[in-house]
Amino acid sequence: MYKTPDGKEVFVVDAHTHLWDGSVENQANKYGKGFIECFYAYHKMGPADTIWGLEEFEKYGVDRMMEDLFVKGYDDIAILQPTYLTDFYKAGFNTTDQNSVIKKRYPDRFILNGSWDPRDGDKGLDELRRLKGEYGITGVKLYTAEWKGASHGWKLTSPESYRFLEECRKLGIVNLHIHKGPTIYPLNKDAFDVGDIDEPASEFTDLRFIVEHAGIPRIEDFCFIAAQDTNVYAGLAVVMALINLRPRYFAELMAHMLFWLGPDRLLFGSDYAIWEPKWIIDKFMAFEMPDDLKAEFNVDLSPEVKEKILGLNAARLYELDMAAHAGKIKGDTFAQRQVAHVMP
Amino acid sequence: MIDEREVWAQIGTVLDPELDRPLDALGFVESVRVDGADILIQFRLPTYWCAPNFAYMMAADLRERVGRVAGVGSVTVRLLDHFADGEITEGINAGRTFADVFAGETDGDLDDLRRTFQRKAFLVRQEQLLRALLRVGYSAERLARWRGADVRVDGAALLVRAETGGMETDEADADGEATALVAGTAWRRLDGLARTYRLYRQKRAAVGLSARDADPLFSTADGAPLTGEGVVEHLRAARTIRLNGSFNTILCTALNRITHGVEVDAEALRDETAG
């Protein structure tokens, strides 16, 4: 819960978090090492006093995560987004089962998402049914750039992928968080192209396609698609970190997002442990849209819009009853300690 | 004897196709070594995971451009610290195509991809020129009608046929002098716009669009002429593409600084019309 200086409470759903193990012991090869080091470079874009040591960053564990999200940070509930990377990490980087450890310990603090990969075929469909049965997932994180054996990625438009989309529909898995990555097959095409979201989004209008990082580095393609498909959303992880690096560009980006998608289709995410939510939310709440952009795009980052981005939008997608939820977590040790020290 | 300044001048013409900015200004060129007639260029991208297709294009362009320098025997280009550095370095210097080097992982070569990004760059540079002209005081309706013959370069200035431009002599903008009619001629002088215009014409040519005297000077990336309304729409879409390029430039140079300690001159990388 974030409290504004005038006492208003803002409910925070952190729509993008991980409990990963990128430790040297778990790295299977040079790609595993390269992957966590790349994440660490992103981490270092944050404010100087929020930077961790590499070893800590590689593997931080449950207790630190609880402190960072719910005591130091303002999160009320966090969504766990798995990234399997089983070709790079011996036990996987942060699989659904790995993430489930923290969900089991603190069930009211997390929403556990699953994942699927169309290249797994029938076995993958069975696994998706298992995830639904065991964890009751309503969302998945899809990583189209994941390496698997000789394959360097997949497209959402493939017939195999459509089988999984059909299955999601059947199982009531309605929130699809999609992340593009750097090395997708075929290599001569634009690896970051978000074009393959357009077609399934038009076909599966009952599913929500939440494009993580707002399609970075293809924001323009993403905006043009999102303007047409109202079931396409923007996950703002990484975008919001720019508030520290270059506030003016953050403002321009937000103006574009608000112009093309409107305030109801934008979701806050810290991308923990890439960044801790506290500083992002502090800066975001203090941020005001510059007048020239307000005038040009006819948009604003009013307190109401900020509230939607920080929590209301994700709560709607995940059918969270916020009042009931606030009641459930009010008494837990994290909420009590948070209330004690977060007030400005 | 090879003039190393000439080598750098050629390197300066190689652009990152995604960012549409020069490799040297981006800080991607790690070192250049001239040994007799042989040149070794080492370059490094911000992350281990930067897309191999763009890396390949940059490597190919470096090798081709530097090969133009007088007296060059061989050019070797080496990509450093990348997940596919071995394949790319080996392939480029053997003169192989991308499709050949990554056989089984592509369904063709890089030409289409290159074209896609040249079209984006074209739209952005056209936007920059159009915005500059709108600021001077020309209307979108008038600009949509300009033809190749209506514009000429004179040093750092752009000359625009006064009649076509649609600005009456007395209606010059606040910087009246900058857009003054050239005495005794039918041309209006716009100081400092020649560079923006030239950059635009380069990209226009790169996407295969002509701008001969009778051709429309402004168009969609497919060559269809713009209307006044089309200009407004075009500007909006192009602005989003431009923002994307600026955003990626910030991200890439920040990652490069963090990972490899490379500092760059942010001013040199700013796009001209950024707010």
Yes or no, beta carbons of B244 and A220 under 8 Å apart:
yes
Mean pLDDT of A47-51: 96
**Are A276 and A72 within 8 A, CB to CB?**
yes
Tens of pLDDT along A159-181?
Answer: 999 999 999 999 999 999 999 87
* Chosen domain end from B75, B94, B109: B109
Contact yes or no for A94/A20 (Cβ under 8 A): yes
CA-nearest of A237, A239, A214 to A225 is A214
Contact B49 A35 (CB under 8 A): yes
Please give the single-letter amino acid code of residue B111. D
User: Is position B274 within any domain?
Assistant: no
Asked whether residue B179 is domain-assigned, the answer is yes
Residue B198 covered by a domain: yes
Classify the C-alpha dihedral A307-A310-A316-A317 as positive or negative. Answer: positive
Q: Is position B256 within any domain?
A: no
pLDDT of residue B216: 93
Same domain membership, residue B124 and residue B215: yes
Nearest Cα neighbor of B229 from B165, B145, B140, B147 is B140
Helix (H, G, I), strand (E, B), or coil: what is residue B52?
A: helix
Q: What is the mean pLDDT of residues A103-131?
A: 97
Residue A206: pLDDT band with limits 50, 70, 90: very high
CA distances from A339 to A70, A107, A109, A336, B56 (A): 10, 20, 16, 5, 53
Q: How far apart are the first and last CA of chain A?
A: 13
Handedness of CA B216, B221, B227, B229 (dihedral sign): negative
Return the CATH number at B80.
Answer: 3.30.300.130
The predicted-structure confidence for A65-86, as pLDDT tens digits, reads as follows 999 999 999 999 999 999 999 9
Rounded Cα distance, A192 and A145, in Å: 9
Do A183 and B248 lie within an 8 Å CB cutoff?
no
Residue B139 and residue B93 share a domain:
no
**Residue-level pLDDT at B167:** 59
Residue A99: the pLDDT is 96
Residues of B in contact with A38 (CB under 8 A): 47-49
Yes or no, beta carbons of B105 and A152 under 8 Å apart: yes
Do B10 and B51 fall within a single domain? Answer: yes
Same domain, B213 and B142: yes
| Residue A342: per-residue pLDDT | 53
Report, as ranges of residue numbers, the positions in chain B whose pLDDT lies below 50.
168-178, 272-275
Mean pLDDT value across chain A = 93
List of chain A residues whose C-beta atoms are within 8 Å of the C-beta of residue B47 = 38, 41, 182
Same domain, B202 and B132: yes
Q: Are residues B118 and B224 in the same domain?
A: yes
- Backbone phi and psi for residue B64, each to the nearest 5 degrees, phi listed first: -70, -45
| Closest C-alpha among A260, A259, A227, A254 to residue A241 | A254
Please, which pLDDT band fits residue A192 given cuts at 50, 70 and 90? confident
- The verdict on residue B131 lying in a domain is yes
Determine the structural domain holding residue B88 and report its residue range: 4-109
φ and ψ at residue A79, rounded to 5 degrees: -100, 125
Number of domains forming the structure of chain B: 2
And the tokens for A32?
């595993």
State the pLDDT at residue A328: 92
Q: Are B2 and B69 in contact (CB under 8 A)?
A: yes
Q: Is B237 on the interface with A (CB under 8 A)?
A: yes
Average pLDDT over residues A193-211: 95
Q: Which of B109, B140, B164 is the endpoint of a domain?
A: B109
Residue with tokens 């450890």: A101
B82 plus B177 within the same structural domain: no
Same domain, B216 and B170: yes
**CA–CA min distance A40, chain B (Å):** 9
Under a CB-based contact definition with an 8 Å cutoff, are residues B22 and B12 in contact?
Answer: yes
Terminus-to-terminus CA distance in chain B, angstroms? 45
Q: Which residues of A touch B50 (CB under 8 A)?
A: 182
Q: Which two tokens stand for residue B230?
A: 């089309």
Domain annotation covers residue B83: yes
Pair (B174, B191) in one structural domain: yes
Task: Tell me whether B116 touches chain A (CB under 8 Å).
Answer: yes
B269: in domain: no
CB of B94 closer than 8 Å to CB of A42: no
What pLDDT does residue B1 have? 83
Q: Is residue B267, in this structure, part of any structural domain at all?
A: no
Domains of chain A: 2-342 (3.20.20.140)
The pLDDT score that the predictor gives to residue B170 is: 41
